[in-house]
Amino acid sequence: MTSQSEAETYSFQAEAAQILNLMAHSLYSNKEIFLRELVSNASDAIDRLRSERYAHPESVGAEPEQEARIRVAFDKDAGTLTIADNGIGMSRQEVIDNIGTIARSGTAEFLRTLTGDQRRDAELIGQFGVGFYSAFIVAERVVLTTRRAGLPASEGVRWSSDGKGEYAVEAVERAERGTTIVLELREGEDELLNEHRLRSIVQRYSDHISQPIVMGQDEAPVNQASALWARPKSELSEQDYHSYYRHLTNDYTDPLAYVHTKVEGRYEYTMLLYVPSRAPHDLWVPQARRGVRLHVRRVFILEDTGQLLPGYLRFVHGIVDSADLPLNVSREILQGSQAVDHIRSSAVKRVLKLLKELAEKEPGKYADFWKQFGGVLKQGIADDPAHREDLTELLRFTSTRSDTQDADVSLGDYVARMKEGQDKIYYLLAPSLAAAAASPHLEAFRAKGIEVLLLGEAVDNFVVSGSLREYQGKRLQSVAQGAPDFGELTDEAEKEAAEQADSDYAALLGKLKAHLAGKAWDVRVTNRLTTSPACIVADGEETDFTVVQRMRGSGLPNQPILEINPRHPLVERLNRDQEDPRVREWAHVLFDQSVLTAGARIEEPATFVTRLNDLLTALTADTTTRTADTPD
């Protein structure tokens, strides 16, 4: 190789410098992981070449077919270690984008996730896309030489850096495609210049890489170099499955569960699907890469973009290997393929069955799963009517039965505990679980011992506002929607008290409604409150969550209803002193307090504070006057 131009020098950005410093000084006790990461990157490059060759053959040009391989070599005299692949390689711009610009690979999130535990932090490297830089754990200088498949030999690129703030990029002549990385080892790293030591590291971390990893003059494979999913299950141990998961995902925690199945019949395919133990940092990023890879007859074709599993199962990782699809399959062909539709349906059923078994047999593990992925799984209730029944059984909720925020209540659990005479499943939507648990809407339900499900995520609105209306013949009912109806759980004395309150407070209700014209659609007495003076609710046509969301926006296009508690001392006093001019101010304070209690914002907070201060001052003055008038 001869230089074709002067090297251009660039500076790493600040976050990159942090990463490089971390690699050089903070992860030394887990230094073996550098080889795992570089071999994994080489494997990905070979997979991408195969995919590109079939999907876009024009982009790789007339590159000769070669047996895929990853080569690991060392030079004792030079003190260097080399990892080379004949994968897709990189262009100059790709080198700058993917190697020079670390932040593109999730650096900021990686740095926020660091714990100080060297072993755990080392396991995060690949997950956040910064695995290449682990080379600096053992190397004082790294030289990467590459040429992208399809480009001429004159467009080879060399990248080099000592990891101290700058890197250089220059053009070189490179006949072969792919990438070669040379590590100039630090002093004291001589143990890596030993074939037995390198073999043991490869076999420990990279045995399930599907391409052969070769070493020595005979270039005999060091790893098994076989597609694990294609091997009989009887030959595989749990450790085999876990090791392959770590290779596939760069997540070095064990998966929570997995399913491995081969289907033969009209369509022939193999699936190996994993449920992770923890959510990735980009779980809620719509454009993030999905976790299932499509292979055709063991050849990697492409990453899933939604055809193999629906969005609400985007956390699933794994392999689908089809014997029926063409090797040159495109994303467009996938969208109209009956074989893919069949595979997708089967994959969804397998995953949901796996989760059901986990919930039934290992509820503790399922509780861990729900904490990580419950919010995503709920999306399926709205998005996938065909599997709604199965998904409903997997739902878990927080409820008033417990003082914790643990979501451990299924709808089946709730129905089994319903009070005699109760005919509805009650729930409350709020901006957060904390807001739900503190809501005044729960007061009467708690007093009667009626369990209420607490829903505090945005997706919950879609679950209960149209997708899931009933369960086992029991209608789901918001406790903040419409007038409360306890049915057979309301005794005659309560009914008589409610009728009397309607009569006793009719005049006050009229005044409050007039004072709140433009803010409240109606004002009425309620039996849903026991300790709070008032609350806002929606009418029967919209959900409580809709009211809260609209109040968070600009104004109140649909006005809520203000309900007052006829047994509260403040409300009783307002009823006695209806002609007091301060009733108008109290009306607005009660309304705004109720809005705040619902977790929403009030339109004029400064006005609210002024009103409240004026009323408190007046009450203080009244108290002072009464005290002065009292004889000693």
Bind-site residues: 37, 41, 85, 90, 98, 105-106, 127-132, 179, 331
CA 156 to CA 150: how far, in whole Å? 11
CA 350 to CA 337: how far, in whole Å? 20
What contacts 24+ positions apart, CB below 8 Å, involve 40-44?
40/126, 40/131, 40/206, 40/209, 40/247, 40/250, 41/131, 41/132, 42/70, 42/83, 42/84, 42/85, 42/87, 42/179, 42/211, 43/70, 43/85, 43/209, 43/210, 43/211, 43/247, 44/87
Q: Buried b vs exposed e over 441-453: b needs ≥16 C-beta within 10 Å?
A: bbbbbeeeebbbb
- Three-state DSSP string of 275-321: ECCCCCCCCCCCCCCCCEEEEECCEEEEECCCCCCCHHHCCCEEEEE
Nearest CA to 567 out of 504, 630, 487 is that of 504
Q: Which tokens belong to 24?
A: 């050089």
CA 524 to CA 566: how far, in whole Å? 10
Whether the Cβ atoms of residue 418 and residue 476 lie closer than 8 Å to each other: no
β-strands 178-185, 213-215 pairing:
unpaired
CA 106 to CA 282: how far, in whole Å? 9
- Binding site feature residues for ATP: 37, 41, 85, 90, 98, 105-106, 127-132, 179, 331
The secondary structure element, H or E, covering residue 434 is helix 433-437
- Tokens 């719509």 locate to 286
CA 449 to CA 427: how far, in whole Å? 14
